Amino acid sequence: MRSTVGSAETPTITGTFKVIGKGSYFTVPDHEEWICKYYTQFYQNYLIHSVVYDVNDKLVDGRLGKKLSHGCVRVALENAKYIYDNVPLGSTVYLN
Check: CB of residue 73 under 8 Å from CB of residue 4: yes
Separation of alpha carbons 67 and 69, rounded Å: 6
Separation of alpha carbons 33 and 69, rounded Å: 17
Q: What is the pLDDT of residue 72?
A: 97
The separation between the first and the last C-alpha atoms of the chain, rounded to the nearest angstrom, is: 14
Supply the pTM of this predicted model: 0.94
Q: What is the pLDDT of residues 6-58, one digit of tens each?
A: 999 999 999 999 999 999 999 988 888 999 999 999 999 999 999 999 999 99
Q: Please choose, from the candidates 19, 20, 26, the residue with its C-alpha nearest in 3D space to the C-alpha of residue 49.
A: 26
